[in-house]
Structures are given as structure tokens and as C-alpha cells.
Amino acid sequence: MPVLAKIRALSNETRFEIVKLVRDRELEAGAVARRFKISRPAVSQHLGVLREAGLLRERRVGSKRLYVVRAEAFDELLEFIEGYWSPRLQRLKSAAEAIERDKVKK
Amino acid sequence: MPVLAKIRALSNETRFEIVKLVRDRELEAGAVARRFKISRPAVSQHLGVLREAGLLRERRVGSKRLYVVRAEAFDELLEFIEGYWSPRLQRLKSAAEAIERDKVKK
DNA sequence: TCGTGGCGTAAGTTTTTTCTTACGTAAAGT
DNA sequence: ACTTTACGTAAGAAAAAACTTACGCCACGA
């Protein structure tokens, strides 16, 4: 799943909270839903979006469905931002050094 | 600006592209707009959202407006994800160690 | 001072997202 | 078998986001 899809999935406040909820423990769909004031189906749909984006893993146990964050997804997100950002930082660093050199020349 | 606002700002494809465009150089609003097929006012609005979220800095030169990414904003985003994520990794590590201890006990 | 280029804002429409109610299905309990 | 629990999905309403055209405001060059 592309990074933008993950960002989009995280951009909704309810989904953002859901991710926090299942960040370090599996939780069944119903338990997640009970934490919010919106309807259970609405939460179910949010869980679907998060799963589709690759942010959550779903596991079925009997009639229950357990959700938990996919660690790899977050690592991927982190790597993306780092990789996206560090080239810029290097360029800025080079620019700063160039300015320093100019100052010395003056 | 809260982190969620930044994520929301990045969640739109056009804005995502705009950020790439002004990641390492200042660009005037018109130059940014010309890169997209949507109308100039639409792009102007996107620039506004990005600025509001604290992702871009705006500088006026004459009648022009130059935009560029605010480095601090991205650092903040990075720090947030790292801080958000690493506690979980530590917990997992502890859990793994606990399991190891159990195995030894057996 | 008159036009022209550069750009944001307003108002309203279209598109997308989010939510609700109704319904269907499968597993578990009785 | 019958009922209840646990969920997802469908369909459509409601809310939010994105886009368009129209307009207005500087700054600048003629």
C-alpha cells in the first residue's frame, strides 16, 4: 500500500484514535466501537479503512475479530518520512557550508 | 499546530505534491499553480491549508508570494511518529524478554 | 494614473467522506 | 433447533472537502 493511503487513513480523528487504541494490544471490534460515540458500523468501516491501508492486521477468533497495528506499516511510514526529509537536510547543510565559505572570502 | 492537522494537510494528493515541490526551494504561488491542472485559486487554497497547518512558510516579495516547507514542521512530525512508536517497540521488547524468561523456567 | 500581472477571498456547486439505519451471516450458548 | 452475540455490508442521508467562476486588492512598469 502506498504511503499516501496510510496518511489518508490516519487523517481522520476517529481512525487516529483507533490506531492509538490498538497500538500495543489486540482489541476486538466491539471493544473498539464502545470507546466512541458514533455507531458500531461506523467504527467497523473505519477499521476497514485502516486495514485496507495496511495499518491494521485483522485476526478472527470464533465470531470475534481482533485488530492490532501492523508494526511494519509504521516502520514504513517512518522510513518514508526520513528518506523524504534527509536529502533536504543534506542540501541545506551544503548550502549552509557554502554560505560559511562566502563569509570567509569576504 | 497539532500533529493531526499536519497529517490532514498532507492527506490530499495535490497538497502532498505541493510539499514535494517546495521541499527544497522557494516557489511563487503562480509557479506552483502552473504545475497542476486544477485552477489557480484552488491551488491557492491548498497553499493556505498547508500554511495554516504550519507546513509551509509564506514570504512576500513585491506582489509575489513565495512558499517553502518549514523544516521544523517536518522534524516535529518525525519526532511525533518516533515518540509514538518507540514506546511500543520497548514494550514489545519487554514482552519478548518475559517470554524468554518463561521458557527458561519451563 | 492606467493598465497588467500576481494572488487571495467569496459564493456557490460538485465530489468525497462519514455517518446512520436496516439487514444478513456465522459462531456460541441454551 | 432457537436465540443471542459479534460483526460486516448496503443504501442513502448528512457533513465536509475540493473545485469553479467572479471579484477585488496591491505592486509595478509604461
Which chain B residues are closer than 8 Å to A81 by Cβ?
74, 77-78, 81
Q: Per-residue confidence at A48, pLDDT binned at 50, 70, 90?
A: very high
Give the per-residue pLDDT at A106.
Answer: 39
Average pLDDT score over chain A: 87
Distance B103 CA to D13 C1' (A): 56
Please, is B6 exposed, middle or buried when counting C-beta atoms within 10 Å of its C-beta (0-12, 13-18, 19+)?
buried
Contact flag A81-B85 (C-beta cutoff 8 Å)? no
Interface test with A, best of B6, B69, B85 (most A CBs within 10 A): B85
How far, in Å, CA of A77 to CA of A80, rounded? 5
Q: Answer yes or no: is B46 CB < 7 A from strand C.
A: no
Other residues' Cβ atoms within 10 Å of the Cβ of residue B16: 18
Q: Reduce the DSSP state of residue B25 to 3 states and report it.
A: coil
- Is B89 a residue whose pLDDT tops 90? no
Give the per-residue pLDDT at B81.
Answer: 85
- Is B23 a residue whose pLDDT tops 90? yes
Distance A89 CA to C9 C1' (A): 35
The set of cell numbers assigned to B95 is 514482552
Give the per-residue pLDDT at B105.
Answer: 46
Q: Answer yes or no: is B50 CB < 7 A from strand C.
A: no
Q: Per-residue confidence at A78, pLDDT binned at 50, 70, 90?
A: confident
Q: Which nucleotides of D are covered by protein (CB under 7 A)?
A: 5-11, 17-22, 26-28
pLDDT digit string, tens, across residues B25-75: 999 999 999 999 999 999 999 999 999 999 999 999 999 999 999 999 988
Determine the average pLDDT of the residues in A80-94.
68
Give the per-residue pLDDT at A94.
Answer: 59
- Is B82 a residue whose pLDDT tops 50? yes
Contact flag B81-A85 (C-beta cutoff 8 Å)? no
Give the per-residue pLDDT at A80.
Answer: 85
Q: What is A42-90 written as a DSSP string?
A: HHHHHHHHHHHTTSEEEEEETTEEEEEE-HHHHHHHHHHHHHHHHHHHH
- Is B96 a residue whose pLDDT tops 60? no
Determine the average pLDDT of the residues in A22-46.
97
CA closest to D19 C1', residue: B42
E strands of A53-103, at which residues? 56-61, 64-69
Chain B residue closest in CA terms to A22:
B88
Q: Which residue has the higher pLDDT, B96 or A25?
A: A25
The set of cell numbers assigned to A59 is 485476526
Q: CB–CB of B44/B64 below 8 Å? A: no
A60: Cβ–Cβ under 8 A, 6 or more apart, which residues? A66
CA distance B68 to chain A (A): 12
Determine the average pLDDT of the residues in A71-92.
77
